[in-house]
Amino acid sequence: MDIIPDLTDHFWNYIVFISVAGGLGGVGNILVSGEFQPWRKVVNQQSKTIHYSIGSMKEPFVGAIGGILTTLLFIESGTGQYLLYLSMLTGFGSSAFLKRYIDQKTNQIIEESNVSIQGENIQPYHLTDENSKPVVKGVMTQPPVYLTEEEVNRLATLRCHLAESIGPREAKVFQSEINVLLHHGKQRAL
C-alpha cells in the first residue's frame, strides 16, 4: 500500500510529507548526537549590536530542504514509502553535514583566537606603582600588551564565551571583542 498514491498529481502533499520526513531526519540527528543547542542572543559589547543564533533549530530546516531536493530526482519512479524513507535519511545526513561544517568553522575561529592570545606578552597595567612613580614601559623583543585588571577579567570571560560558542558567527563576535581588548593593550605600550 502506497502512502502517497500518485505524487505527480498531489505535488503540495508531496512537499509537505517529504519536508516533514526530512525535518524528522534532522531531529533524529539532534537526538543521536545528543547536542541540542538552544536559541541564543549574543550581544557585542564593543559595537552594542545584537546577533541571534537559532542553535539546533536550523537542522530540521536543512533536513527538510535536503529531503525535498534529493527526492525530486525520484518523484516519477519512486513509491511514496521509498521517497519518505529517502527523505528521512537525507534529512539526517544533511543535518549531520551542517553540524560538522559549523563545528569545524567554530573550532577554527577558537583556535585562531587562542593562538593570537598565547602569542601576546600580556602584562598588568597600573597607572602608578606602590611608590607613586609612573610605570616605566620597557623595550622587549615581544611588545607588551598592557591590560588593566578589569580588562584581564573581561578577556577571561570572553575566552570562556568563545569556547562555548555554537556557531562561527557567535565565535566571530567574541573574537572581535578579544582583538579590540588586545589592540587597546598594545596602544598603551606605545
Residue 104 has pLDDT above 90, yes or no: yes
Ramachandran area for residue 148 (φ above 0: left; ψ -120 to 50: alpha; else beta):
beta
Place 5 in a pLDDT band, splitting at 50, 70 and 90.
Answer: low
Q: Residue 48 — very low, low, confident or very high, per pLDDT cuts 50/70/90?
A: confident
Q: How confident is the model at residue 109 (pLDDT cuts 50, 70, 90)?
A: very high
Average pLDDT, the chain: 81
pLDDT of 165 reads: 87
Confidence (pLDDT) at 80: 76
pLDDT digits (tens, 9 = 90+) for 34-47: 878 888 888 777 77
C-alpha grid cell for residue 135? Answer: 610605570
pLDDT band of residue 20 (cuts 50, 70, 90) is very high
Q: What is the pTM of this model?
A: 0.71
For 130-161, the pLDDT digits (tens) are: 554 445 555 555 778 888 888 889 898 999 98
What pLDDT does 141 receive? 59
